[in-house]
Homo-oligomer: A and B are copies of this chain.
Amino acid sequence: MNSGLRAPLENTIKEVSVDCVMFGFHADELKVLLLKWNNTEWCLPRGSIFRQELIAEAASRVLKETTGIEEVFLQQFHTFGAADRYKNNSADQNAQQLHNKFEARVDDELFHESLISIGFYALVDFEQAIPKLTGSYQWCEITALPDLSFDHNDMIELALVALRKDLRYLPIAKLLPQKFTLRDMQKLYETILNRKFDRRNFHKLLMSYDFLIKLPEKKIGTANKSPHLYQIDLEKYETALQDGISY
């Protein structure tokens, strides 16, 4: 055993980057932030990990550098292998060209010809999180994505799978405004899970956990009635998440 520790260095050297799938939720819509790359293609915010930098620190820094957005909830969800990324994508000429571009830069035989990328997803309210950058960007609906650079379409798909799983365990309801209605929360769940809940059952389910605080205020300006506003008791929410929230 321990062959790993004795393996020749040239087998183990990789370029490692982080890629961020930034989900934005607002008014019942789930979107992803795309950046213009190379003036022709769209891609996710991405960048390298520096020496001595924690992986999670790198993700925050990259997001800030590429979008101007900071202090968001970031969650690592999957690591994408170099070989995986291009092998499965051989029909994708753009990816192949980019790949060759990387290659051309790397003339030391020791360097691996490909990349490993650690995928993170972020969650924001896309009306609040305004990118500050010189290049073009768009918030694109997850159901209407263009062909992206690299393997970024696959990445978004896997990030969404992770987000769906994490809804039970991570404080994803923080995506809601500080005060919200039960309908808002239902829509958040429905949008992420891409399925409908019966209103009455869903509300009963939510209230079976004790992390929702009913406020005396009501939401005004809605069409028919004025529903109650709620806020989250974060401590109780965290406790409920430890076992997973069933729905």
Residue from the set A1, A79, A111, A135 with the largest chain B CB neighbour count within 10 Å: A1
| Closest-CB distance, A72 to chain B (whole angstroms) | 17
Decide: A11 and B169 in contact? CB cutoff 8 A.
no
Report the bound CA distance from A56 to B87 in whole Å: 13
Considering only residues 63-80 of chain A, those with a C-beta below 8 Å from chain B are: 65-67, 76, 78-80
- Per DSSP, chain A at the interface is mixed
Report the bound CA distance from A247 to B30 in whole Å: 28
Q: For A232, what are the chain B residues with a Cβ–Cβ distance below 8 Å?
A: none
Residue from the set A52, A62, A66, A113 with the largest chain B CB neighbour count within 10 Å: A52
Decide: B37 and A17 in contact? CB cutoff 8 A.
no
Stretch in contact with the other chain, from A2-10, A21-29, A177-185, A216-224: A2-10
Q: How many interface residues does A have (CB within 8 Å)?
A: 64
Decide: A84 and B55 in contact? CB cutoff 8 A.
yes
Q: For A55, what are the chain B residues with a Cβ–Cβ distance below 8 Å?
A: 79-81, 83-84, 116
Listed A/B pairs (22) with beta-carbon separation below 8 Å: A1-B35, A1-B65, A3-B65, A4-B18, A4-B46, A4-B66, A11-B48, A12-B48, A13-B13, A13-B14, A13-B16, A14-B15, A14-B116, A51-B113, A53-B81, A54-B84, A54-B87, A116-B116, A165-B165, A165-B166, A165-B169, A246-B247
